[in-house]
Structure 1
Amino acid sequence: MSFESYPPPFRQQSHVVHSDDSSKTLQDFDLIPTIDLQCLDLDNLHGACKNWGLFRLVNHGIPPTLLNQLQDHAKKLFSIPFETKQTLFTSPFSYFWGTPALSPSGTSLLNSSGNINWVEGLNIPLPHLSQIQSQTLSSFRVLLEEYGNHLARLSRALYEAMAKKLNLDTLESKSNLSESNGSLRVYRYPYYSDEADEAAWGLDVHTDSSVFSILSQDQVGGLEVLNHDQWFNVKPIPNTLIVNIGDMMQAISDDEYKSVKHRVKVNRSRERVSICYFVFPEEGRVIRSSKYKPFTYSDFQAQVQKDIKTLGYKVGLERFRAY
């Protein structure tokens, strides 16, 4: 392992450890609801979105070889020296570390425990992949284009099913989901071997701002989800995806569905790589709900940035609550 690939603050964890942290939570067995896309049951989907805000998607139609190739390419890119990545990952990519990419600067951001997030990543706006000219990134771009097409297909199918169960007006709600501003974030979580320090989190507790998010994770666990005041491990299972309900979908559903709180715990001996797709409403789309004041995603994101700057954390939907 080349520690020159890590951002400088992460290089202190350079000694070898032989034990693995199992990231025990209050509930360590797998209770995450499973949704089969080929035999989509609207009642099961509704229950998962309402009671968990998250589900495991199977039979999604994305070739396992594509998922594996994306993981392999991501690991190779992250292994490039840190200084090189800063020059390689330029527009339309943005490279960040120490933050979940909510900070416009893309640099380190303290979490609620007063520490930086133990993560580095790439933000990739899928509609702008054609702008990538680097030969080093050309094969990765081809994989991302194929993956992006699959994600658009999955997003449409899932949203249409949710909208049908929620009895949303088909034409009016169509603009609640826009493929033109979908983005990928590729994350690497360096291992953290200081057993005396329990404050190391890859990502602190948060909700996603999207309509929903679709996650592909490697076989190193760490994702945890909050349900009924208990934390559950979201175990990595090959060839499955994890779908999170986000803030926009909670508002669209009039709080019928919940934007799930989740976090990522770092591993004591192994790096973790995950790839997450975020999909948002169309530009300028006004979300109207009996629970919230009318707002656009741009309004929401501007408020998030303001809160991060002034308070140090995201407040989210509560800022738009109709009291």
Structure 2
Amino acid sequence: MEAPTLCSYDRLKEVKEFDESKIGVKGLSDSGITSIPKFFVHPPETLSDLKKPSLSATSISIPIIDLSNINSPSDRPNLVDQVSDMAKTWGFFQVINHGIPALVLDDTVSAIKAFHDQPYEVKCKYYKRQEGQGVMFASNNDLYRAGAASWHDSLQAWLGPEPLTAEEIPEVCREEVVSWGSRATEVAERLMELLSEGLGLESGKFKELSFLETKALVAHCYPYCPQPDRTVGITSHTDPGILTVLIQNQVSGLQVKHGDVWVNVEPVHGGLVVNVGDFLQIISNGAYTSVQHRVLANSSKEPRISVVIFFNVAKWKGDGHYGPLPELLSPEKPPIYRDFTQKEFLDNFYSKAIDNKSLIEKIKIRK
């Protein structure tokens, strides 16, 4: 008589069945499961890092910058210094008095929550994996590329360079998505002026280079997770583009790595979270820095909602390359990154799971 054999775990089969069900992690959570599927469980090295103490607002928190006097000739230089310094030392900061009423931000978050709260039959018609254009609802954009899935669903809407028609956006959040996209762009434009000036460039330089034109709205839902110590909301990563602008509800979970410690990004009502992307680190020749951030799996019964807009370049230079801006280079400050193509940028992003500065590492000039 042969000894019984253990059944092998077919991860791809499990992932495919979950993906094709189109229920997302919210569907799993709402079903009342008490343990998460195996493909959501992260490796020991990731889970052990989650258990290390993190710093809260009681000890240290990401900087908050007040933009109320951004148009004041006497105050603007100080703002330029603040924003550029935070982009160099933290890579993350929050802004208040940015010109968007708190009610508009609250309405945007509520509308996104309403989308994710819809029945499966309504949401599933948007569920697909066609990144880079239109509207897409899915769980984990890197589901098939990552070693372990993360506990979140996302609604994506590509707002530029080719604008969406209003009818493409789900009706339950249509008005709010359009409004938030427009208002976030206005704030990003003002911040990019300050960042440009902080490098000694003309205030409109980044806009001239089309750094605001490619923009994707990604609206995450992190539902209750029955085993938050076995998975993550989103794994540690840096953003690949120029600049990211985010609003979040009052359910915490976002963390930023500052030095060797993880810092909790406590929600500030009416505030916007802003961070530097890899592309901005490269074109600034390392003056500004992108930093690792992650979201913990949600142990609260209330879902965490975040609404992000990623800004990136739309028009690549005439030779099809990008790299450190020539205006920032000199014999004393030679380039630390080589030029790279749009294809390299896209291939790097879509060939793997989200990660930390992988493009930066590939194009770094080794001495």
TM norm structure 2: 0.74
| Structure number with bigger Rg | 2
Indicate if the aligned counterparts of 1:92 and 1:125 stay in contact, CA closer than 8 A: yes
Cα-to-partner distance string for 1:134-191 (whole Å, 9 max, x where unaligned):
6x93362222222222111111111111111112366764444443321100000111
Q: In the alignment, which residue of structure 2 is the partner of 1:37?
A: 67
Structure 1 position 313, deviation (Å): 5.2
Structure 1, unpaired ranges of 5+: 16-22
Aligned to 1:18: none
Q: Which amino acid aligns with 2:56?
A: D
Separation of aligned partners in 1, 2:260 and 2:216: 30
Mapped pair 1:216 → 2:254? no
Cα distance in structure 2, aligned partners of 1:267 and 1:169: 43
Counterpart pick for 1:226 among 252, 257, 261? 257
CA contact (8 A) 1:13 1:194 kept: no
What does 1:305-320 align with in structure 2 at a 5 Å threshold? 305-306=350-351, 308=352, 315-320=358-363
Aligned counterpart in structure 1 of residue 323 of structure 2, from 269, 285, 288: 288
Is structure 2 residue 115 aligned with structure 1 residue 77?
Answer: yes
3-state SS, counterpart of residue 179 of structure 1: coil
Residue from 179, 191, 194 that aligns with 1:158: 191
Letter in 1 for 2:158: P
1:299 to 344, 353, 359: 344
SS at match of 1:133: helix
SS of the counterpart of 1:32? Answer: coil
For 2:150 and 2:273, how far apart are their aligned partners in 1? 22
- Counterpart position of 1:206: 237
Aligned residues: 300
3-state SS, counterpart of residue 309 of structure 2: strand
Gap regions ≥5 residues in structure 2: 1-22, 35-50, 71-78, 325-334
| Paired residue secondary structure (2:322) | coil
Separation in 2 of the partners of 1:89 and 1:74? 15
| 1:96 to 2:160 alignment | no
Partner of 1:184: 217
Cα 1:243/1:170, change in 2 over 3 Å: closer
The equivalent residue for 2:95 is: 57
2:61/2:266 contact within 8 Å kept: no
CA offsets per residue over residues 64-106 of structure 1, 9 Å max, x none? 1211111111111111233531214577211120x2x3x3xxx
| TM superposition shift of 1:227 | 0.5
Query: Residue 54 of structure 2: which of 14, 26, 30 is its match?
Result: 26
Q: Structure 1 residues 221 and 24 mapped into 2: Cα distance closer, same or farther (>3 Å)?
A: farther
Q: Decide whether aligned partners of structure 1 residues 6 and 200 sit closer, same or farther in structure 2, where only a CA change above 3 A counts.
A: closer
Task: Check conservation: 1:221, 1:236, Cα contact below 8 A.
Answer: yes
How far has the Cα of 1:57 moved from its partner?
0.6
TM-score (norm 1): 0.83
1:14-40: per-residue Cα shift (whole Å, max 9, x none)? 46xxxxxxx984312242111112234
Distance 2:256 2:219 in 1: 19
Separation in 1, partners of 2:197, 2:271 = 24
Whether the 8 Å contact between 1:10 and 1:118 is mirrored in structure 2 is: no
Distance 1:245 1:178 in 2: 13
CA contact (8 A) 1:124 1:184 kept: yes
Residue correspondence of structure 1 range 190-269 to structure 2 within 5 A: 190-194=223-227, 198-269=229-300
> Residues of 2 paired with 1:164 and 1:31: CA distance?
26
Give the conservation status (yes or no) of the 8 Å contact 1:291–1:321: yes
For each residue in 1:84-129, what CA deviation from the matched residue of structure 2 results, as whole angstroms up to 9, or x when unmatched? Answer: 31214577211120x2x3x3xxx4553xxx4311010011111456
In the aligned structure 2, how far is the partner of 1:5 from the partner of 1:220?
A: 20
In the alignment, the residues of structure 1 paired with residue 64 and residue 209 of structure 2 have an alpha-carbon distance, to the nearest angstrom, of 24
The DSSP-based 3-state class of the residue aligned with 1:126 is strand
CA deviation after TM superposition for structure 1 residue 205, in Å: 0.4
How many angstroms apart in 1 are the aligned matches of 2:181 and 2:238?
Answer: 23
4+ runs of 1 displaced by more than 6 Å?
none
